[in-house]
Amino acid sequence: MDARLSAWFGHNARDLPWRKTRDPYAILVSEVMLQQTQVSRVVPRYVRWLARWPTVGALAAAEAADVLREWQGLGYNRRALNLQRAARAVDTGGWPDDLTALPGVGEYTAAAVRNFAFGHEVLPRDTNVRRVEERTGHTFGAGNAQALMDLGATVCLARVPRCGACPLAERCPASGRRYEPLRKQSPFEGSFRQRRADALRAILAGGASHDEEAIAALARDGLVRVEGNTAMAPA
């Protein structure tokens, strides 16, 4: 299966900017951005982020408020602060052997950086990779990581896989199956997540928000600081 997958990837690989570097910082930025955001939205923001903060040191020295402003629109703003905290840790002490020691870096992200930046023989298993392995019943090698991600994202889809276009279909026990729709996230419009986002956007713009519940939640996450009755951007 590995050979078939590699041949398919040679003709169908997505052209993504983070695949053109082995810089662990750039790889970390891409992986953190991709955690809960679609690839199409991440690409331009990734390019803009690295143009502004091209190195670990540059991000480490940035104002937290500027980092949050640059992150606006990507969602889950704690990721931005954790990314900067990780950059500061690396800027001070270098890349640790155990990357999960960095703020906001879990097992998958650590494996991705180890593979794509440092060349370690570890397979980062995101949702797409796990789906392909579970359906085929095959365990793939670390060198197939990018191919598996592309296959899962474009062919081995969650609900209605495109088995006719899959290079592994001939040997896949799940070929031709259809799946129940996954539980969808509750709508953003009108949600508390939207209230938090609106409050943070107003505060970062130098204005004010009167949504006390949203401000309290932002403060608990370290996204704003409150002095007296005033909420402001983090230092």
Query: 227 in helix, strand or coil?
Result: strand
Cα dihedral value 93, 95, 101, 103, nearest 10: 80
Q: How far is CA 223 from CA 2, 4, 81, 83, 234, in A?
A: 44, 46, 8, 13, 6
Q: Does 133 participate in catalysis according to the annotation?
A: no
- Residue 39 buriedness (CB in 10 A; 0-12 / 13-18 / 19+): middle
Which of 31, 134, 189, 227 is catalytic? The answer is 31
| Helix ranges, 22-144 (H) | 24-34, 39-52, 56-60, 64-71, 78-93, 107-116, 127-136
Q: Quick one: DSSP state of residue 94?
A: -
How many whole angstroms separate alpha carbon 122 and alpha carbon 142? 5
The residues assigned a catalytic role are 31
